[in-house]
Amino acid sequence: MAPVVRDHPYVGLMKTLVALSERTKGWDAYDGDPVMTEALLGALQLAASLPRLGEIPLPAAGLAPDGAVVLRWLTPDQEIELVYRGQRAGEYSVADRATQGVILEGSLRDIVDPLKEIVDPYVAQPFRAQPW
Amino acid sequence: MADGALPFKDGEPLPAGTILYRTVPDEPSRWVREDRRPTGYSFRPSTTQEHISMALGLAYPAEEILRDFPALGLVELDAATLLSRGLRVIYSPTLGRGHVSVYGLRGARKSLVNEIVSEALRVWEPTTHKIVKSLRVVD
């Protein structure tokens, strides 16, 4: 029997994020920390809000050595990252994909809505204009 | 080269020109598969350490690191890249074979760690160990 409820398009991302909570101290062959719980909640909230932008490419999701959660999108020209260290704490950045030169970086505390201020202008709008 | 024959002593700052290695896991925050390059997160410490760990090439050559950690990639740097940014590079072999402690990266901005990665001399891809960047000729 076919499933009654289809998977949400971002359920894979949600699963990847939740799986980060299984990492234990030293997961990176050095001294990598387990995920910060509040950071994971922040990233999950952002992931849950992505459907508000329609269909956009999924970010890669990973864990920084200090337990922060990293969400990274690659456009043809740029690398966009949101790094969660709490539900509203962390950093954002936009870098040139070829040179890795940072175009924009700042604290998530200094912006109201990362979805509207970072993901929409740097990922969703370019994707809608010319999908990759 | 055996540790006893090395030109550096435990606790000694390492000079420019010293070759250092940092391993890189095949993890989205640390390695960009699409572009076959490491990210700057390999140069940020955990919350429980003030330093990041590297290996002194003279004591732990790249080929041996890759053999010992077959799933990992590797970044090769000249200590000059770190020293020129005000970081402290200290030989600390009591912490492991050829261990080098690099201080000053806690809270480093993305632009700084990206600059460090961009100056890598050689980069080996995780698992395949293919050299995907090479700015240094090795005999």
| Residue range A37-95, pLDDT digits in tens | 999 999 999 999 999 999 899 999 999 999 999 999 999 999 999 999 999 999 999 99
Q: If interface means Cβ-Cβ distance under 8 Å, which residues of chain B face chain A?
A: 23, 25, 27-30, 32, 34-35, 37, 40-42, 44-49, 52-53, 69, 72, 109-111, 114, 117-118
Residues of chain B with C-beta less than 8 angstroms from the C-beta of A101: 111, 114
Nearest to B4 by CA among B72, B58, B69, B50: B58
Residues of chain B with C-beta less than 8 angstroms from the C-beta of A81: 110
A7 pLDDT tier (thresholds 50, 70, 90) = low
Test mutation, B30, B92, B110, chain A, max A CBs within 10 A: B110
Q: Which two tokens stand for residue A20?
A: 């980060």
Asked if the interface predicted TM-score (ipTM) of this complex is over 0.95, the answer is no
H or E segment to which residue A48 belongs: helix A37-49
Question: Which has more pLDDT, B72 or A6?
Answer: B72
B32, β-bridge pairs: B37
Which chain B residue has its CA at the smallest distance from A34's CA? B46
Give CA–CA dist B38/A87, Å, rounded. Answer: 27
Give CA–CA dist B127/A129, Å, rounded. Answer: 37
The whole model's pTM is what?
0.90
B81-128, pLDDT tens digit by residue?
A: 999 999 999 999 999 999 999 999 998 988 999 999 999 999 999 999
